[in-house]
Amino acid sequence: MNYHELAQAIVEQVGGIKNITQLVNCATRLRMNFKDESLVDLEELKKINGVLGAVKKSGQYQIIIGTDVANVCNEIKGMGLEELTQPSQKKGGIIDTLMDIFASIFTPIIPAITAAGMIKAILVICVLLGMQKESQVYIVLSFIADAGFYFLPIMLAISSAKKLGCNPYLAAMVGGALLHPSFTKLVTAGDPLFFLGMPVKLINYGSSVIPIILAVWLMTYVERFADKVSPKPVKFFLKPTLTILIVVPIVLIVLGPLGSYIGTGIAFVTDFLNARVSWLVPTLMGAFMPLLVLTGMHWSFLPVLMTSYTTYGYEAVMGPGSLVSNVCQGSAALCVSIKTKNKELKQLASSAGITALMGITEPAMYGVTIKFKKILLSVMIGGGVGGFYAGLMGVVRYTSGTPGLLSLPIFIGENPMNVVHALIACAIGFVVTFVLTWFYGFEEPVGTLDQAETKEAEADKKESFMKKIVITSPVKGKKVNISKINDETFAKEIIGKGIAVESVDGRVVAPFDGTVATVFRTKHVIGLRSEEGVELLIHIGIDTVELDGKFFTPHVQDGDTIKKGDLLLEFDKKAIEEAGYETIIPVLVTNTSAYLEIVASEEGYVEIGETLLTIL
């Protein structure tokens, strides 16, 4: 792979180097923000040789490269991209904004945390092999590893400042104040401490996460205030002095304790789940990790993971389930490589399968799993079963890192059986996924990979064409092909096949006789079931879950019997759009696998009651 040429091709499709406001990379993806998003061409990005996929999720554009991503990222930075400390000015929903912030803050420090955790894993192995903990080699390596966690507030201060748009070195000074030996001595002594008559809570901030993020958030406002009130002749020294003198006391008196309480609360919830229902979270993570990665939602768990690491020295929220899920992705891809006779698919699946077993799942996910929906279901079932075992056995991850067979040392800790149970969970997930894919999930493609229907399926479609079910439009407006939706989950038809409609009047009516399966708590989703058994999902808008029901007025509730044409829901289209959300409505058949085909009508204007979908 020519990294320079690939970097150049990517930069051309994102509007040039000057359009990039932020660039970071994780294990497999470039994560970018832009000044003018209209200059970014996602479809052309996907066509670039070396790009596995491109999506916009969690407030960022994510360009999937694979394990060579760091080299490509460095090439782009070498084209003249300056290190920016200005926050993105784009509007977005609260959830997207928070996930964007979490991703940008935690991604840069992951290598340091990973290195610290791997050194700890090496020390555990050395002790098992006979090394004494009192030896000088052990002591030196131990404090090297501990430094990665103890000085976490300083590292987070720098990355937070770069994301939120304030001076990273002043932010590091705030973090240093929280860890200063004089303060830690006062904490150890326990004697009451006051500043200008106000009590200072004595808390050990070593390895803490939330307090420093709150501190830098405050600093973004204080620094702008200090800049405004400082006269130009003395601004050079007055601005940073005012910033520190205002921020650090407020953090010590208010925000630090608040962040500590939040961290304690997160740790309590995590501890409660591990103690009472240890199997639940790994099962859910094992099953739904592919969907979390596809939508970028996995970044929302970063504060929880970091808090767990620094509180307990391990985490059981994402690590065990994601390990099993990654192995299941590899299992499915390898199964396809063995079973298929298609040379193109065999080569792709074999390479992607091995890579997924090592922990990098994007090639398998985008090259195999998503293209064959039953395989995705097989992966999810296998991941759930393996995750259930991991949860029952109390498997934990001792440090950050992409879970895979090569990174198994991150599961090595004081309990020598932890890594053994992790391997057993992987084996369970691998076997379950392989068997399901072999006997249920895979249909041999005809011709190229894009022609995923077999000759037998084509014949069945013709034979059963007369047994069709027609779904009429519940919305008046413009029909849009589902692949054009600005949401990967809908566009890739992961939930089900269907079509989308851009409503013109904010009304949604019943498209058939049946029942209301569910009205989602946030009122933006209605699930219906027809008398023929068709399960239909009507999703009003993209990311409108963040509105928490605002601007939506449902006229039905769970279990209601409906007749075709009954008013189901009304929404304030203008208000939702003014809040920054798209109001396009995906209409999806969620039990797609129960039918031979879901045929969407052609794009164009549609009235309520006219044919929208034909089910064969």
Active site residues: 26
β-pair type (29-34, 20-25): antiparallel
Rounded Cα distance, 65 and 72, in Å: 8
* Cβ neighbour number for residue 350 with a 10 Å cutoff: 16
Rounded Cα distance, 542 and 547, in Å: 11
Rounded Cα distance, 249 and 243, in Å: 11
SS (H, E, C) 322-348: HHHHHHHHHHHHHHHHHHCCCHHHHHH
- Are the beta carbons of 386 and 426 closer than 8 angstroms? yes
- Write the CB contacts of 54 (distance below 8 Å, at least 6 apart in sequence): 42, 45, 46, 61, 62, 63, 64
Q: Nearest-CA neighbor of 119 among 139, 144, 151?
A: 144
Rounded Cα distance, 244 and 135, in Å: 42
Rounded Cα distance, 393 and 5, in Å: 48
- Are the beta carbons of 399 and 410 closer than 8 angstroms? yes
Rounded Cα distance, 109 and 112, in Å: 5
Q: Which tokens hold the place of 252?
A: 């010590």
Q: Which tokens hold the place of 215?
A: 């501190």
* Cβ neighbour number for residue 69 with a 10 Å cutoff: 22
The one-letter amino acid at 282: P
* Helix/strand/coil percentages in the chain, nearest 5: 55, 15, 30
- Write the CB contacts of 371 (distance below 8 Å, at least 6 apart in sequence): 449, 452
* Cβ neighbour number for residue 196 with a 10 Å cutoff: 6
- Are the beta carbons of 471 and 512 closer than 8 angstroms? yes
Tell me 89's DSSP state. Answer: -
Q: Which tokens hold the place of 271?
A: 């501890």
CA triple 378-384-390, angle to 5 deg = 135
Tell me 226's DSSP state. Answer: H
CA triple 367-371-373, angle to 5 deg = 130
- Are the beta carbons of 556 and 526 closer than 8 angstroms? yes
